[in-house]
Structure formats: structure tokens, C-alpha cells
Amino acid sequence: MVLRSLVAVCVALVLVGCETAPEEQSAGFVKNPEMMKHYDLLPVQKAWVDPNLKNVNYDSVMIKPVFTQNQLKTSKMENANIRTWLEKEDKDTRDFAKYTENAFRRAVYNSKKFKLVDKAGPRTLILELALVKIVPGKPGVGAAKNLAAPVVGSFRAMAFVMAPVRAGVGAASDSPMQASVAIEGRLLDGATNKVVATFADREKQTSAVFNLKDFRAYGNLEQIVDEWAKQFVKVLEARPLKTGVKVKKEASSFSLFNF
């Protein structure tokens, strides 16, 4: 009976604890960020769309290399990472930017309505992205968290039941110990080079009882980027601000097991 009650409490706390990371201040990549606002139909924190945009006229997307300049500052705790201590941060940032570009290219390539192109034209949208804040994971901390053995004896069941609560609280908190990434993007008309839409989002890692991606500094961030890329294509295809079809986030902020 007590165990059943604890399970109910766990579920309640996990459901309350699932939320997106708080918004970051604009890094300046997107001009006039004050024009962006939140739309319930879009899976990003805020966006702006030219009211004259008719993206039904577009059938292709060109993706430019991802910018990493002018990043927002990270705190000492966010920066406490073995990759930074080994002075690998600059190379990691370049590699992660390339991973981001390739993730969006793959997503567009797999689209049934849009084709991936390398040259802009009158029916092409140009996507420019900037990674404005990168907080890699901390593999040492992640390994300790995932491999910690539950206490023995009569408390083993209690430890198992409470594990989702700890993960759920992690999903709700904005801890510098968690991996997170902030992005800004703009879409340009391929014929006029005019900005027709902008967006900004920040996501933190999925909180899980066991998270295999915690063992790599960029494992959680790659998962976030892959989800952003899929969402981007879904928005292009569904045109939610015109059709009223909501595009949901790809993944929950909490999972029992994240592989």
C-alpha cells in the first residue's frame, strides 16, 4: 500500500517536472529579437514570421554552415567540463556546428515536400543557424549518476521507486550541471535574400533514470539538434500558422531510459 502511494507521488512529480529550459537573451544573430513571440503552434520558444510569407510557394531549402561567433557567456559551473580543461572546446564547437548543419541537411533530404539544394533560387528558402550557447555534458558526473548502485536490503525497492522522482526533478530544474544548447535561426527568401522568418530556442538534456548519452560530453546535445532538425521540417511541411496544425516537440524532457 505504501509502495503504491509512493509510485503515485512519483508519477505526479514527474508530470509536474517536465518543462523546457528557460529562454536565453538574444545573442544578436537575429535582428530585432523584440519582434519574436511565443506561438503555441510552434515547437520553439519564440519566433517571428513575415505576415506576407507564403511558404507554399517554396519547394527547396538551402542550408548554410552554422555560425558559432558571439556566443552568450557561460557560468563557471557550466564551463566545468573536462573538454574545456583539456582545451578541446574550440575544436568541439566546430565539430558540433558541423554536426548541426548535417543534422538539418539530413532532415530536409528526407522531407517528402522539400528538396535539399546547394544553390538558392526563387522557390528556395535559405536557412542560417547560430549556436549561441553551448553547455556540454559532464561525462564524469553522468557516469557516477548512472552507475551508482542502489542501496541494499529493504531500501532497494524504495531507491528504485524514488529514481523517477530524482530524474523528474532534474527535468524541472535549470541546473548548470545539465547539458543544454541555445540556437537562433533565420529564413531568407532565395530570390530576394530578404529575411522572412526568425526563431530562437533553448533546450536542455532529457532527464532519465538511466541516460546512456551522459557518458559523452556532446551526446545529449546531438540528440537535441536531431530533434530540432526534425521539427524544422515538420513546421515547413505543416505550415502551422496557416493551417492551425500544431507541431509538437520531438521528445519529452523526462524518460525512464534514454539511449
pLDDT tens, residue by residue, 233-249: 999 999 999 899 999 98
Look over the chain and give the mean of its residue pLDDT values, rounded to a whole number.
75
User: Does residue 190 lie in a domain region?
Assistant: yes
Q: The dihedral of CA 64, 68, 70, 72: what is its sign?
A: positive
Cell of 58: 517554396
Residue 86 maps to a domain: yes
Residue 73 DSSP class? P
- In this structure, are strands 46-49 and 195-204 parallel, antiparallel, or unpaired? antiparallel
Examine the pLDDT at 18 and tell me if it is beyond 80.
no
- Is residue 135 within 8 A of residue 178, CB to CB? The reply is yes
Domain of residue 221, CATH code: 3.40.50
Which has more pLDDT, 72 or 17? 72
pTM of the model: 0.75
At 36-56, the pLDDT tens digits run: 999 999 999 999 999 888 666
pLDDT at 213 over 60: no
Please tell me the distance from the alpha carbon of residue 218 to that of residue 193, in angstroms, as a whole number. 33
Residue 5 is assigned to a structural domain of this protein: no
Q: What's the pLDDT score for residue 218?
A: 86
Strand locations in 178-219 (E): 180-189, 195-204, 207-211
Domain count, the chain: 1
Residues 6 or more apart whose Cβ sits within 8 Å of residue 128: 64, 67, 185, 186, 187, 188
- Does 110 have pLDDT greater than 50? yes
Least Cα distance to 162 among 36, 5, 50, 6 occurs for 6
* 44 within domain boundaries: yes
Rounded Cα distance, 215 and 208, in Å: 13
C-alpha–C-alpha distance, residues 3 and 211, integer Å: 25
Identify which of 11, 13, 7, 5 has the alpha carbon closest to the alpha carbon of residue 169: 13
Containing domain of residue 109, as a range?
Answer: 25-138+176-242
Note the pLDDT of residue 176.
65
Residue 258's SS3 state is strand
Looking at the domain assignment, is residue 84 inside a domain?
A: yes
Domain assignment present for residue 64? The answer is yes
pLDDT in tens, 128-178: 999 999 998 875 444 444 444 444 444 444 444 444 444 444 444 456 668
Q: Is residue 219 part of a domain?
A: yes
Q: Is residue 170 part of a domain?
A: no
Q: Residue 144, class by beta-carbon neighbours within 10 Å (0-12 exposed, 13-18 middle, 19+ buried)? A: exposed
